[in-house]
Amino acid sequence: MTGCWADVRQTVEEVIAERPDDYGVGVRAIMADVLALMERLDRARPYVGPGYWPTFVLNFDEPGFENLQLEVFDDRIEVYRFYDQLFEVWNEEHTPGEGFSEAFIRELPASGA
């Protein structure tokens, strides 16, 4: 993905601006934690969009990670892997300001993976 982390954060702000009363402090804080982790670990920058709920959906175009999708809620991140007609999903429970599991970190594609 071209661009920079400031572009990703700008997209987050644009998603919030579409429904500002819906995106609460919790989901915004967890999204900020996810992006800070990814930037600190030099992970691939995601494409960010709104979820059906007041959530953020992150998609990737890094080879081998095109089927990865993260959905950020106010108390967790849902981690999806899509395969043909099936998918796997698991939850990464998260409290703003706390760390992430090693399993979650392993799911994140490296920049230029």
pLDDT tens digits along 52-102: 999 999 999 999 999 999 999 999 999 999 999 999 999 999 999 999 999
- In the chain, the percentage of residues whose pLDDT exceeds 90 is 93
**What is the structure's pLDDT at 1?**
47
Distance, CA of 98 to CA of 103 (rounded, Å): 15
pTM: 0.93
Q: Give which of 87, 41, 34 is closest to 56, Cα–Cα.
A: 34
**HSE-up (13 A, CA, CB side) for residue 112:** 2
Segments making up each domain of the chain, as ranges: 5-107
Of the pLDDT bands very low, low, confident and very high (cuts 50, 70, 90), residue 27 is very high
Q: Do the beta carbons of residue 97 and residue 33 sit within 8 Å?
A: yes
